[in-house]
Structure 1
Amino acid sequence: MAVPTNKDELLKAIDLNFDKLIKDLRGVPGSLVDECSLEGHARGTQMSVADLVAYLVGWNELVLKWLDRDAAGEPVDFPETGFKWNELGRLAQKFYRDYEGVPYPQLIERLAEAKARIVALIEARNNDDLYGHPWYEKWTMGRMIQFNTASPYANARGRLRTWLKTKNVSRQS
């Protein structure tokens, strides 16, 4: 799918990639969700499927924080307070820890809720708000949202499907 350049394309990309991912996440056997055998987000680390979902929840909730702070006229600390863009592996580890006690079904529900809130916030904005001017450095708000929702959904799905194949778990298209 091409990089979204307007509100409708952004919403379509988020929904399409999320729907495919959530179907695969719901198909992971419960006995495998906590097994640390997926390549982690930091070089040389391993993670579980639950960690992968925690990572996505963390980023989605971070996007919501950015949008809430922006709407309140407060400065946004990209990517997150205490982290620089070259420390995303460390941020991923934080997300794993933040959600490690949350049962897998609740993690999936929390991801779905965060995605729904992001969609609602996008729908409340016009195309100019999302794509009419830079929001962070050279990037528009729409592009920053896409970088941290639709793209990671697609990436996570690819990782998950490759991993499921190594586990001989049948999956639906």
Structure 2
Amino acid sequence: MAIPTNKIELIRAISENYGKLKKQLLTIPPEMFLEKSLDGHAQFTKMSIHNLVSYLLGWGKIVIKWIETKENISNIEFPETGFKWNQLGDLAQKFYSDFSDNTYEDVINQLDNVHKRIVSEIDKMTNEDLYEKEWYGKWTMGRMIQFNTASPYANAKTRISKWRKTRNQ
């Protein structure tokens, strides 16, 4: 899928990629959800599907925070409060921890809700808000949202597909 360049394409990319990911997630038996057999975010590490969903959920919540604070960008600590861009591995670990006590059903439901909220918030925005002005450095808000929603959803779907093939599922 091409990189979105407007609001309609962004919503389509997020929704299509999330739909494909959700379809994959629903085929995973709950007893395999915590098994650390998926290639991790850091090289030579393993994570569980639960970790992967927690990662997406954490980033989704950050995107919502960015959207809510979009007019006061100077109040946003990127990528997240207490973390620098070179600490994304630590941020991933925080997400894993944040949702570690949540059940399979709960993290999937939370991810659904975050996805719906992001799409709803984008729908309220103008194309100008999203793509016609720089928002964070050289990046538009639409591009920053895409980097942290549609792209990770597609990446997660690919990771799960690869994982399923190694498990003959």
Q: Same fold (TM over 0.5)?
A: yes
1:28 corresponds to = 28
Tell me the secondary structure at the aligned position of residue 135 of structure 1: strand
1:157 corresponds to = 157
User: What is the aligned length?
Assistant: 169
Find the aligned partners of 1:136 and 1:45 in 2 and give their Cα distance. 31
CA RMSD between the two structures: 1.2
How far does residue 83 in structure 1 lie from its aligned partner after superposition? 0.8
How far does residue 42 in structure 1 lie from its aligned partner after superposition? 2.1
1:147 corresponds to = 147
Deviates most, 70-79 or 108-117:
70-79
Find the aligned partners of 1:60 and 1:99 in 2 and give their Cα distance. 13
Structure 1 residue 84 corresponds to structure 2 residue 80: no
1:128 corresponds to = 128
How far does residue 68 in structure 1 lie from its aligned partner after superposition? 1.2
Could you state the TM-score of these two structures normalised by the residue count of structure 2?
0.96
Task: Mark the CA change 1:74 to 1:84 in structure 2 (over 3 Å): closer, same or farther.
Answer: closer
Q: C-alpha deviations, 1:34-80, integer Å up to 9, x for none?
A: 00011111233211001100000000001011111225676111100
Could you state the TM-score of these two structures normalised by the residue count of structure 1?
0.94
Tell me the secondary structure at the aligned position of residue 20 of structure 1: helix
1:15 corresponds to = 15
- Runs of 4+ aligned residues of structure 1 deviating over 4 Å after TM superposition are 71-74
The answer (yes or no) to whether the contact 1:42–1:90 under 8 Å persists in 2 is: no
1:105 corresponds to = 105
Tell me the secondary structure at the aligned position of residue 42 of structure 1: coil
**Structure 2: gaps (5+ residues):** none
Q: Give identity over the alignment, percent.
A: 53
